[in-house]
Structure 1
């Protein structure tokens, strides 16, 4: 694979919350794919091939008088990404059962110890959406279940499902770097029964799953919910995240049209994760 060039934006945001959350959501809509939150704001990354000088024109928070957002930008080569993460990445704990950490962190005394080398992939557990999806996995039974992780990023959700004794797991991401990174992380965590694929929901065919996990963004979810429903077994479960509390009615309406009923949601800041049942 050629050495991809990324553009790094260093945003300072005041007030930090909910400013950083809003900024990340809006940047995700225009093609930014990875984020590191810090005490000043957000580092955001987009591939140079997807970037143009007008990329921020539709990012509304930049014109919102309630927030002050400043930024600088620079090029960063993919090979320097690990150094960026080592500087910014702290281990995170979900409930008292699960820790997501990098290889350079000390091994914790928890039931589920997930080791992630994030590189350019989303899904370390730091963002609210990933954290809540991990929480949902901890709360629910995955014993012997077949699982699909759509938009798998680092593979962290698939890995926790495997640690909770899911039987067959497919992890799919459209980004080549995420695909390669998830394969590395699956191997690192000795989860040999996770199959990792590069692509989107068009790969699914007629495969049926007990559980579908999709932590992506609102617009992709709205387009793909009917596909997820087609690939769920009877009495299957769909866990969704990547959107705000105010988006729940629209997401739920789309799910209902596909025969899925709202059961429960989690909330962290203004982000939500929602459980639907077939």
Structure 2
């Protein structure tokens, strides 16, 4: 079985978008790199017309460059293990894959086998979301994880004591992967659904909404986040750069959400809002 390897260089915000689009046309393995990612597909499965459409679509805006090669055989488990190391968040959370040994001494352990899904904790935005979650009381709370990816944030919410968790993603492979990760971590009662927040149409008023997506989606869905959040509830956002904070804060305040905290990592940012606050202060 021969595989084609495509070494993709692109701007950071387009990495996950390109991986998602390429997975839809048959690419079945991805390895993130410092400048983009490597993508793999069986030679017989490649539709070059569909691939060219994707490359042309993002060529200019993503500063895309591509190098193609042929691989005779690939041991994907071996390749994955070469590129995936455990991470530690705030000396409290240990995130590992199933093939890594447990590590004693941490308050929380999360097992993530991400396959093609976004959210291993390695990316700055996922790290920031986990970091902020640790500071927020989840006990007995209703939590929504929008654009859940691997399900890592929903799992963190469960480990922090949330009693009701709604998770969903637009990509079928993320949903499959997320549900596997829920099972691995002992959360059989959580099910990831397929769709956007408007397609899911959540009816409950959530105490916490988590959304690690991208700036454009966050701006587009901000009104729905606001209407889905209970009074005094918290909205945690990431997936954007530090320079995007003013635009997102402005949009959020239009829907009754007050910024109470922000943090950054490697030029990426996370924002926390509270619904129904009259005064601007951090209260947790």
Q: TM-score, normalized by length of structure 1? A: 0.82
Is residue 2:56 matched to residue 1:54?
A: yes
Contact kept? 1:81, 1:120, Cα under 8 Å: no
1:72 aligns with: 67
Cα distance, 1:24 vs structure 2: 1.8
User: 1:32-43 to 2 correspondence within 5 Å?
Assistant: 32-33=19-20, 36-38=31-33, 41-43=35-37
CA radius of gyration, larger in: 2
Is residue 2:275 matched to residue 1:275?
A: no
Cα distance, 1:207 vs structure 2: 2.1
Moved more, 201-210 or 98-107: 201-210
User: 1:1-278 to 2 correspondence within 5 Å?
Assistant: 9-11=6-8, 23-28=11-16, 31-33=18-20, 36-38=31-33, 41-45=35-39, 51=51, 52=53, 53-61=55-63, 71-73=66-68, 82-109=77-104, 110-202=106-198, 203-278=200-275
Cα distance, 1:81 vs structure 2: 5.5
Contact kept? 1:162, 1:194, Cα under 8 Å: no
Structure 1 segments (4+ residues) deviating >6 Å: 46-50
> Equivalents in 1 of 2:195, 2:58: separation in Å?
27
The DSSP-based 3-state class of the residue aligned with 2:102 is coil
The DSSP-based 3-state class of the residue aligned with 1:234 is strand
> Equivalents in 2 of 1:268, 1:234: separation in Å?
29
Contact kept? 2:208, 2:235, Cα under 8 Å: yes
Cα distance, 1:204 vs structure 2: 2.4
Q: 1:75 to 1:213 in 2, by over 3 A?
A: farther
RMSD value, Cα = 2.7
- Number of residue pairs the alignment of both structures matches: 253
The DSSP-based 3-state class of the residue aligned with 1:54 is helix
Contact kept? 1:243, 1:272, Cα under 8 Å: yes
Cα distance, 1:43 vs structure 2: 1.3
Unmatched tracts of structure 2, length 5 or more: 24-29, 276-284
The DSSP-based 3-state class of the residue aligned with 2:145 is strand
